[in-house]
Structure 1
């Protein structure tokens, strides 16, 4: 087979959480839509969870069977992690990631080697791995693979992680939890308050497994051949421009709204969805506050109670997603029957839903969010202003972008403990106050920027096409 006829083959391995799985699947579909062969690797426990949710416990389900019927060459396989299927990875988060950092890389190494050895078509292989992993550079180097890193958070967070050494030199890693000052020396970041830093840069978390793994991941990430950013060039121009000085960096987001993406071909939700359409249809336009803390973060009963009674006191209509496991202890009944009776006319409490479908509903006028990056992008795409209550990880940075940079949201509280009266006041003023019109105008402006980015001549589409060209040139030169 001639060199030009050899097909490109991407081996894709993502971090096993909803917020990482969604953009990874979208990227797989985009790559395959451009003629690239994809092997999508799922961890077995995550695949079993998806099967239990959607396929009545069948475990031989191929997530990409519909995509292949559309002519896309996506192979699907699973691999093990270091734990048995029954191990509760969410409830034992620290133990899980301590072991993943130590024991998962040899498993990946062996697995990738088997995939390459089984190639009968003499394809040109490359690796697409989540930036959060600490092993891609070593695996890519061992097998002479071009190393593509997909970053599923904001470019602002990538800038902070990339310049970990600068933060350390200036005394901001570890950052004292009580310090309140502006940081103005990070390339690509005009100014950021210490209160808005990634949670794992703080003194209280600097010895956590996530803090240690994150430092390692950014060091390894500097060895990537390409970094794909699930953001939009026009929304984070300074950060992306600065990063371009250090590595081949492509803003191709929001991935799940790409125009060339085949729709409804892969089921990725880890929970069964409730349909809110009829309930929302009974409410006036813009009158409903959608409340969700996303797919992963845990909180405590005190926060949920203050939020619950804040919603009750506010008299605002709301849809509240309380997923199973949000307290981190397996509890399934979170809110009292008394509370649910008190709000049954104007409050809908569900376990999960199609978030984009809900945010797109005309009845929804705002989103009280934990500021996860996927949730933030989806709210922006739908033009819905946000009340931000970041809980951890990268969420303070996303909240900072929403409130300070783009001015499409407000903070639920400025740190400290939640109080129901303050929650009620914030919700009332947000949904009914004079600032809402300004927030809506700004949200509509941001929505148009995002829509334009994925159009044929938009920045994200142009950047993705440039990435494909650069990727092919790099792979063929390397082989």
Structure 2
């Protein structure tokens, strides 16, 4: 019998912050737990951002068999690296990276360490891998419910539900009154407004919808496995339903907690409490916020972060600011530097009224980016005002932090629906940010009213279930081992 060559997984995540961070967690887990050789591919733009944020050492080979590479992402090279790529521009340009990625695969083969699979959530890359005769493994970085909602895109079109007939349907109640009750594994009272934001179009030739349909068909027909950053107790019903229409699915989340648990078992010690996983954060992180939190009482601080891509308007920023001030609670608020640039101001404080900054001295901490995982683990955090990106929701759940939900794009509407209605760990802020409502809801979730006690209790329960999933014999621990044996084992490459 020929000797099996070592498994070699080439990772290329969609090159934005949330996708890169979770993919790097998975890559390092496979390398540490499964002995898988890894080549982790950044876009050239993100490579520059990592180096500027963390230094050249962040992309150095930290362990034998783990290396970083980079390819162009198809965007003009003179773009401002500090401003996140426009999601639509990136979506339509990223196919240009495929020839460069193929070159990396050819070089790996010539070096005697050929790739044995490609792991990505970019459908151009998954199709290219299949064309080259390599297993295409989809690491899908949304929630399971978000993926199942996306899988319904063609059916929604075929039933004439989308595209919308006219712009009035965005505001006349159509999104709320249109019930989508036929999706396996999902609640029968799902509304159209609970589906990904791409359904909110009137364009019969909408290019984003076309990409979503093509991507979902790629998952069904061109991939050999689908990996999800979730755990069975949280989304088991929808995962079971998807298992009937997709290739084998492996739930291995929450990835940060599974990484930490694996470190403990391997070394017998807790992992070092570093602010960030090297090369996962594309922005410099402000560790000073952790020192500030250390001076606050347990569960006394509201954490506010709308992620790495979405923007608030100037009006929304001002309304939110005064809502936080009027709530009476301390807060840690992330306002990205590029958010400030969009409003023509400089730095987090530049976008806010001077009176607000003065009034909240000592009670508020403003920063352009922070080590979110460490922040959400901190005892001082009492609640999380979030855009409901999946990494943020899962990190909130894993750390037992109740949420105030303000979804804005992509799968965030679906995540919000599940967080507020199915898991009951959050409350939705509503369609508009208004200071009185923000202040009321912060007091409700952070205070001793019945609603606040209920969401905190549910958050604590889900934290315990997440912890159970990542210990040895837990579902995600077992699923990771099974995935290594079934998808990444060297014997599969003989």
Please report the TM-score for the alignment, with normalisation by the length of structure 1.
0.90
Deviation per CA, 1:353-378, whole angstroms, max 9, x where unpaired? 11122222222111111111111111
Look up the match of 2:397: 380
Q: Is the 8 A contact 1:286 1:364 kept in 2?
A: yes
**Equivalent pair of 1:298/1:327 in contact (CA under 8 Å):** no
Deviates more, 1:302-311 or 1:177-186: 177-186
Distance 1:286 1:100 in 2: 42
2:144 match = 155
- The answer to whether residue 369 in structure 2 is matched with residue 349 in structure 1 is no
Which residue number in structure 1 is paired with residue 262 of structure 2?
260
For residues 144 and 476 of structure 1, do their structure 2 counterparts lie closer, same or farther at Cα, with a shift above 3 Å needed? farther
Aligned residues: 462
- Aligned pair 1:358/2:375, yes or no? yes
The 3 A distance-change label for structure 1 pair 96 and 169 is: closer
Q: Post-superposition shift, 1:169?
A: 2.7
Residue matched to 2:230: 231
Q: How far, CA to CA, are the matches of 1:368 and 1:435 in structure 2?
A: 16
Q: Given the alignment, which residue of 301, 314, 334 partners 1:301?
A: 314
Match of 1:140 among 123, 129, 145: 129
Please tell me whether the aligned partners of residues 148 and 242 of structure 2 are also in contact (alpha carbons under 8 angstroms): yes
Within a 5 Å distance, the mapping from 1:124-139 to structure 2 comes to 125-130=116-121, 133-139=122-128
**Alpha-carbon deviation of 1:53?**
1.5
Q: Which ranges of structure 1 fall in alignment gaps of 5 or more residues?
A: none
Q: Secondary structure at the match of 2:146?
A: helix
Residue 86 of structure 1 pairs with residue 78 of structure 2: yes
Higher mean alpha-carbon deviation, 144-153 vs 430-439, is at 430-439
Over the residues paired in the alignment, what is the CA RMSD in angstroms? 2.2
1:439 aligns with 2:452: no
The CA distance in 1 between the partners of 2:249 and 2:204, in whole Å, is: 28
Q: 1:276 to 1:140 in 2, by over 3 A?
A: same
Map 1:279-358 to 2 at 5 A: 279-326=292-339, 329=342, 331-332=345-346, 333-358=350-375
Separation in 1 of the partners of 2:141 and 2:244? 20
Distance 1:206 1:319 in 2: 42
Structure 1's 371 and 472: CA in aligned 2 closer, same or farther, altered over 3 A?
closer
1:426 corresponds to 2:445: no
Alignment-derived partner of residue 180 in structure 2: 183
> What's the offset of the Cα at 1:61?
4.1
Are residue 367 (structure 1) and residue 360 (structure 2) matched? no
Q: Give 1:390 shift.
A: 0.6
Shift of 1:205: 7.3
The Cα of 1:64 is off from its aligned counterpart by: 4.9
* CA contact 2:123–2:218 (8 Å) conserved in 1: yes
With over 3 angstroms needed to count, the CA separation of the structure-2 counterparts of 1:459 and 1:315, relative to structure 1, is same
| Cα distance in 2, alignment partners of residues 146 and 92 from structure 1 | 30
